[in-house]
Amino acid sequence: MDTAFYLHRKFFDFDEYCECARNWDLEYRQLDKGRFTSELLMFGNNRAVFADARLGRKMKQTGAPPPGLITFGVLANPRINIHWRNLHISGDMLFVFPEGGELSSVTYDDFNVFAVSLSEAKLNETCRKLEVDDFRKLTNGAEAFYCDSRMLEEIRTWLLSVRQELISPWGPGQGYLEYYEQELADRLIRALAYNHQPAHKQRLRKRDSALKVAENYIATTDVDHLTIPELCAVSGVSERTLEYAFQEHYGLTPKRYLLLHRMNNVRKQLRAANPKTSQIVELARQNGFWHMSAFSSDYKNLFAELPSETLRHYS
């Protein structure tokens, strides 16, 4: 029998959060001002995982779900929504992370999601028991589904009860993981087999394609001297079109996105640096920040700590 693991922590550093999210390959970048706050609850083994993730800042999330399992997402608050893989995900949708696919989402300070993972073998075993098509045929390659509202709300309520069981003083009893695995499989397959409607991705417009090119270029280029005209030339669109694209997707101008990208780069480097041998000035200048007083002020406004505090605390 696989050994179970359990994690329940609050985090005030998003890189530490990503490092502790077991079997997830995550990278976060902060997109609004203020101290990062979060709570992560995880319980499971190599066959089944429950995760309840809560974030208190606007974040760009990239990465991949646990390998070898099928991971589903249910927004814990039905009134919130996120932008995920070129889909607008709302509280009345069940979504499925593609195996080996990019997470790619923008979330806000009210983000709270149940991310639950099961083996495909367990899902297909449940399909046979319920006498429905196997999992691949039920989903037919789609990544998000409008499900029967009553059934989805029952799943959400049940997942909340799982959370309460896991954080209770006495904790989950013996055999709880096996119960969770089977109950989750039953509920998910019933929701997919009964009156579900796939949500289709929006057709990529010119601005969407330009945004993707611009994001990839920023991520793979030395951005300390990157200009907006250069970004427009690479993306093949006008400055106005690129502005619309970034505003629509991130609520930010391209210039602001670039600044935040460089700030997040500095922060990651500070966390990895040796405080005895590393110079903040040097790391800042490597990322295009030349006025140290303005840099320190902007850094503190964004992350709610000075660069020197990041260097000392996380190194």
Average pLDDT over the chain reads: 93
Q: Are residues 310 and 177 in the same domain?
A: no
Query: What is the rounded CA–CA span in Å between residue 197 and residue 189?
Result: 14
Is it the case that residue 22 has pLDDT exceeding 80?
A: yes
Query: pLDDT tens digits, residue range 23-67?
Result: 999 999 999 999 999 999 999 999 999 999 999 999 999 999 999
CATH number at residue 277: 1.10.10.60
The total number of structural domains that make up the chain: 2
Q: Are residues 189 and 252 in the same domain?
A: no
Where does a domain end: 198, 217, 247? 198
Q: Are residues 165 and 35 in the same domain?
A: yes
Among all chains, which residue has been given the structure tokens 């039953």?
186
Where does a domain end: 135, 164, 198? 198
Q: Are residues 115 and 193 in the same domain?
A: yes
Q: Are residues 127 and 143 in the same domain?
A: yes
Q: Are residues 145 and 28 in the same domain?
A: yes
- Average pLDDT in the 159-187 region? 94
Q: Are residues 150 and 288 in the same domain?
A: no
Q: Are residues 123 and 219 in the same domain?
A: no
Could you list the residue range(s) of the whole structural domain that residue 264 is in?
206-314
Query: pLDDT tens digits, residue range 134-145?
Result: 999 999 999 999
**Burial letters for 55-67: b for 16+ Cβ neighbours within 10 Å, e otherwise?**
bbbbbbbbebbbe
Q: Are residues 48 and 179 in the same domain?
A: yes
CATH number at residue 9: 2.60.120
Instruction: Confirm if 31 and 252 have CB atoms less than 8 A apart.
Output: yes
Q: Are residues 280 and 193 in the same domain?
A: no
Q: Are residues 190 and 212 in the same domain?
A: no
Q: Are residues 128 and 10 in the same domain?
A: yes
> What predicted TM-score, i.e. pTM, was given to this entire model?
0.92
Where does a domain end: 143, 172, 198? 198
> Helix axis angle, 228-235 relative to 254-272, nearest 10°?
100
Vertex 47: Cα angle to 45 and 51 (nearest 5): 60
Name the nearest CA neighbour of 312 among 282, 275, 286.
Answer: 275
Query: pLDDT tens digits, residue range 235-266?
Result: 999 999 999 999 999 999 999 999 999 999 99
Query: pLDDT tens digits, residue range 63-86?
Result: 999 999 999 999 999 898 899 988
Residues 6+ apart with CB under 8 A from 58: 30, 31, 32, 106, 107, 108, 109, 251
What pLDDT is stored for residue 241 in this prediction? 96
Vertex 203: Cα angle to 199 and 205 (nearest 5): 145
Is it the case that residue 291 has pLDDT exceeding 60?
A: yes
- Average pLDDT in the 1-28 region? 92
Q: Which DSSP symbol is given to 41?
A: E
Is it the case that residue 1 has pLDDT exceeding 60?
A: no
